[in-house]
Amino acid sequence: MKIFNTLTRQKEEFVPLEEGKVKMYVCGPTVYNLIHIGNARPMIIFDTVRRYLEYKGYEVNYVSNFTDVDDKIIKKAIEEGVSAEEISQRYIEECKKDMAGMNVKPATTHPQATQEIDGMISMIQTLVDKGYAYAVADGTVYFRVKKFKEYGKLSHKNLDDLQSGFRALQVSGEDQKEDPLDFVLWKPKKEGEPYWTSPWCDGRPGWHIECSVMSKKYLGDEIDIHAGGEDLIFPHHENEIAQSECCNDKIFARYWMHNAFLNIDNRKMSKSLGNFRTVREISEQYDLQVLRFFMLNAHYRSPLNFSADLMESSKNALERITEAAGRLKDRKEKASAVELTEAEKKLLAEAEGYVKKFEEAMEDDFNTADALAAVFELVKFANTNVTEESSAAFAEGILEILVKLCDVLGLVAVKKEEILDKEIEDLIAERQEARKAKNFARADEIRDELLAKGIILKDTREGVKWKRA
Ligand SMILES: [Zn+2]
């Protein structure tokens, strides 16, 4: 499997630190508003990377944070007259709803910056002790960039160029810095802001230190893949590398993956242009599966343009997949022949060829556009070869392949049958009756039937409880 590594600017063979396991960190959103479709791109892309790694049999520890202390959150809290925590908690919940709609799996851990302050203070202290950081009179702590000789290795910038660029930008309030390149690790509180006590001053962490600390805590000093949008390469990821490698004396991440940006109608998404689109707005018009399809139908390292036309064609294309899956399901249920014929066995083996094509595309730096092309070839194959004469086993075999490939991409080919609360309660009541009548076979049958629909029963002292899986 090859991954394009921003660090080396080339595709490299993926070799995990530990066999069979992948440690992956993806920078998450700052939670002060509903997420927009620019935030959605890395969520969908790296969820797909994770799904493919899992499909390949890796155990993936996937960590993605919520930045819940930030100027924008504080500003919004002041505007609404509520606490910063209320704002961040509200938008974490909303973000999770959008993620579920896009079929993005919850991370193994979703740490929140405000819950990890102790770790940040401890890492900053280590950096101070090692001479990589220093506090100035007002209690601000800065990272001493020039002391880390490899600074700039991810963004491929050299220190001299950075220096001249920064001199022009130097802000008068930052005079206390030893060097214009130095960045903030800890800053003093301002009136009305959330703050924590530290050895340097009452204040709060800088943004970059948050990810270094959360990655270290939940994944360890060395990780396999660190990912995010390409706008994070500099300075955010460059600074994360500086902090983590100077603190831990280890290579922070082996592979750095970045998705390209998303434009709207060929223009950059910006507040001033008023062309911001939230995922929630899209969901009012489309199933979010369509948005997912749209994102995957381009290579993640290519800029992507969002337009109404492209969403319409994504919707139609996705329907071709779900309609084919629906037909296969129907054929499977209605077929009179059960067993595979010899001819069908051959065709089924032929269909496996599309799996190979799909995998080849994904192995080549997650080329989801080509992987989707393989899915469409399979759809065409199914539409041609699965007919009214086909056996149930054949229709089922092709359907299984289609569902499996779609699942890797996080696309739902066959919607689970919805079961209503009332139906569940009725079946539970029937099961209770069956048990009373000592008809345990029927009781078990009902339990299995519910389980197949994703309903888990639990017998407790207070009676039967159930939940959706
Ligand atoms: Zn980050």
Provide the greatest CA pair distance for the chain. 85
Q: What's the gap in Å between 226 CA and the centre of ligand 1? A: 9
Per-residue pLDDT averaged across 319-335, rounded?
95
334/86 Cα distance (integer angstroms): 53
Q: What's the gap in Å between 210 CA and the centre of ligand 1? A: 7
Q: What is the tens place of the pLDDT at every residue in 141-159?
A: 999 999 999 999 999 998 8
46/50 Cα distance (integer angstroms): 6
Q: What's the gap in Å between 234 CA and the centre of ligand 1? A: 11
127/238 Cα distance (integer angstroms): 16
Q: Is the pLDDT of residue 175 over 70?
A: no
Burial of residue 209, with CB atoms counted within 10 A of its CB: 0-12 exposed, 13-18 middle, 19 or more buried: buried
432/459 Cα distance (integer angstroms): 11
Q: What is the tens place of the pLDDT at every residue in 417-446?
A: 777 788 888 999 999 999 999 999 999 889
Q: What's the gap in Å between 230 CA and the centre of ligand 1? A: 12
Q: What's the gap in Å between 27 CA and the centre of ligand 1? A: 4
Q: How many CB atoms lie within 10 A of CB 7?
A: 18
Q: Is the pLDDT of residue 469 over 80?
A: no
Q: What's the gap in Å between 309 CA and the centre of ligand 1? A: 33
**Rg of the chain over all Cα atoms, to the nearest angstrom:** 26
Helices assigned H by DSSP within 364-462: 368-385, 392-409, 421-436, 440-452
- The answer for residues whose C-beta is within 8 angstroms of residue 245's C-beta and 6 or more apart is 148, 150, 251, 252
Q: What is the tens place of the pLDDT at every residue in 257-282?
A: 999 999 998 888 887 888 889 999 99
Q: What is the tens place of the pLDDT at every residue in 38-86?
A: 999 999 999 999 999 999 999 999 999 999 999 999 999 999 999 999 9
What does DSSP say about strands 133-135 and 253-259: parallel, antiparallel, or unpaired? Answer: unpaired
Structure tokens at 461: 């002292």
Q: What's the gap in Å between 26 CA and the centre of ligand 1? A: 7
Q: Is the pLDDT of residue 346 over 90?
A: yes
Q: What is the tens place of the pLDDT at every residue in 227-244?
A: 999 999 999 999 999 999
User: Helix (H, G, I), strand (E, B), or coil: what is residue 347?
Assistant: helix
Q: What's the gap in Å between 265 CA and the centre of ligand 1? A: 28
Check residue 49 and give its pLDDT.
98
Q: Is the pLDDT of residue 376 over 60?
A: yes
Number of H-type helices and E-type strands within the chain: 15, 15
> On the CB side of 370, how many CA atoms lie within 13 Å of its CA?
14
pLDDT band at 169 (very low <50, low <70, confident <90, very high): low
* DSSP structure string for 205-259: E-HHHHHHHHHHHHH-S-EEEEEEEGGGIIIIIHHHHHHHHHHHSS--EEEEEEE
Structure tokens at 303: 């800029």
Q: Is the pLDDT of residue 172 over 80?
A: no
Q: What's the gap in Å between 213 CA and the centre of ligand 1? A: 10
Amino acid at 179: D
Check residue 365 and give its pLDDT.
98
Predicted TM-score (pTM) of the model is 0.89
pLDDT band at 170 (very low <50, low <70, confident <90, very high): low
42/46 Cα distance (integer angstroms): 6
CA distances from 109 to 112, 113, 219, 407 (A): 10, 12, 10, 22
Q: What's the gap in Å between 375 CA and the centre of ligand 1? A: 34
| Residue 141 and residue 135 in contact, taking contact as beta carbons nearer than 8 Å | yes
